[in-house]
Amino acid sequence: MEKIKIGIIGLGTVGSGVVKTLKNFDNKVQIQKIAVRNINKKRNINGLNENILTDNPYEIVNDKNIDIVVEVMGGINPAFDLLKQAINNGKHIVTANKELLAKHGEELFSIAKEKNIVILYEAAIAGGIPIIMPIKTILQGNKITKIDAILNGTTNYILTKMDEDGASYEKVLKEAQELGYAEADPTGDVECFDAAYKIVTLATISFNKRIKINGIYREGITKISDRDIKFANELGYKIKLIASAKLNDKEQADVRVHPMLVPKEHVLAKINNVTNAVMLSGTPVGEIMFTGPGAGEMPTASSVVGDILALCSEIKKTDYPLPMMRCNHTSEAERIEIGETENRFYISLNTIDTPGSIGVIGTICGNHNINLSDILQKGSNPDGTAEVVVITAICKEKDIKAALKDMKKSQAISKINNLIRVMN
């Protein structure tokens, strides 16, 4: 059997895992070249043939002998240009680059369609969890209309430890950085760019409509306090960063990423530490969930190598490989603006500790068509205020924001501490 020749761009954590894993499939795959930033760097890969290393990734995309280009370097530049050139040169693509797919996937898939090229990206959504291929194959008989997912291990770890240890966000973030779960600059994770890139691509393939990254509502976890975690527990909830996407009866999409109070009995409330989970709702299947390691060297390598082997089983044997895995959607989903979305809400605030203050909250909410379902008062503070937590019934986002404006003007309310959405 003729071996399929691949070129790998990137030999960091994921790239190293891919090389180590592919040793088990030497009879099918031959690594022709590997592009690295520093060709002299010591590599923790036993038996690595350093003669195939290059610091020029264009050697890979322009090599006529290479059948598959595996991109695991991340980022936009130069990955976007490299993959465009590889596709134009007739090479199939395996990538783990969620940012590239979210921002430039439409263009890359369009070029790939013209050139009869397959782009596979299982590792770009949830690390080692198989989700793309199941949606494209065994679940294709379903109309998927809802996704609720935990797609970022760093933020899930931080929220889990805040809950278990009663610690502050700042303390747990520092611990996560020391353990290697969070980057020195954690912005991409804690401000939810990473999860936003992933839900855009996941919603696109699930709804079979293009979802644009521009305008996705995104809210990070930096404002979540240990007090919020404590109050949520008292009210029967866990706080999780949820990437969600819903398609209504008019084929309009509501796609966003933000913290949510999740009922303790809900399965997503039990997903802890760096574990990821994706819950899909569809017809006729109902609700199903995929869970497992969402990042890391070997879990992510598992998905990358799975894509490589799927291509190896097809190319050079058919003129049109893996038709089910191709991008077939052309229409863009109409988006629902965040102000028009509906949720329940958790509001934490300080009121002046005088009779009638809670009544003021109820009156303001009532003026904006908002009913209250739970109220928690936590006694008096030395400054003459009382800490109050309320949970609303389902209401529109624009109405709760209008109510908060009125609360800020009220003499009975001294401070609004936080607003967090509650899973319906």
**pLDDT digits 0-9 by tens, 45-97:** 998 999 999 999 999 999 999 999 999 999 999 999 999 999 999 999 999 99
Residue among 155, 174, 175 at smallest CA distance from 294: 155
For the residues 360-376, what does the mean pLDDT come to? 96
Q: Rounded to two decimals, what is the model's pTM?
A: 0.95
pLDDT bucket at 379, cuts 50 / 70 / 90: confident
Neighbours of 285 (CB within 10 A): 14
For the residues 304-323, what does the mean pLDDT come to? 96
Phi and psi angles of residue 384, each rounded to the nearest 5 degrees, phi first: 85, 15
Per the listing, tokens 């976890």 go with: 221
Neighbours of 64 (CB within 10 A): 8
User: Would you state the pLDDT for residue 292?
Assistant: 97
Both 180 and 255 in a single domain? Answer: yes
Q: Are 55 and 21 in contact (CB under 8 A)?
A: no
Domain that holds residue 169: 132-293
Both 252 and 370 in a single domain? Answer: no
pLDDT bucket at 277, cuts 50 / 70 / 90: very high
Query: Structurally, how many domains does the chain consist of?
Result: 3
Both 86 and 161 in a single domain? Answer: no
Identify the active-site residue in 33, 198, 238, 246: 198
d(CA 301, CA 293): 11
Both 288 and 309 in a single domain? Answer: no
Q: Quick one: what percent of the chain has pLDDT higher than 70?
A: 100
Asked if pLDDT for residue 322 goes beyond 90, the answer is: yes
User: Would you state the pLDDT for residue 380?
Assistant: 84
Both 23 and 68 in a single domain? Answer: yes
For the residues 130-135, what does the mean pLDDT come to? 97
Residue 335 lies in a domain: no
- Residue 162's H or E segment, with its range, is helix 153-165
Residue 198 designated active-site: yes
Asked if pLDDT for residue 170 goes beyond 80, the answer is: yes
User: Would you state the pLDDT for residue 1?
Assistant: 67
pLDDT bucket at 146, cuts 50 / 70 / 90: very high
Both 35 and 69 in a single domain? Answer: yes
d(CA 225, CA 207): 35
Q: How far is CA 370 from CA 77, 373, 392, 424, in A?
A: 47, 10, 7, 15
Find all residues with CB under 8 Å of 221, minimum gap 6, and list them: 155, 158, 159, 169, 190, 192, 241, 259
The string over 211-224, giving b where at least 16 C-beta atoms fall within 10 Å of a residue's C-beta and e elsewhere, is: bbbeebbbbbbbeb
Amino acid at 162: M
Helix, strand, coil percentages for the chain (3-state, nearest 5)? 40, 30, 35
For the residues 208-216, what does the mean pLDDT come to? 92
Q: Which CATH number does the domain housing residue 215 bear? A: 3.30.360.10
Asked if pLDDT for residue 396 goes beyond 70, the answer is: yes
Both 158 and 288 in a single domain? Answer: yes
d(CA 151, CA 154): 9
User: Would you state the pLDDT for residue 313?
Assistant: 94
Both 186 and 280 in a single domain? Answer: yes
Both 275 and 153 in a single domain? Answer: yes
d(CA 88, CA 90): 5
Alpha helices, DSSP H, located in 257-296: none
Q: Are 13 and 75 in contact (CB under 8 A)?
A: no
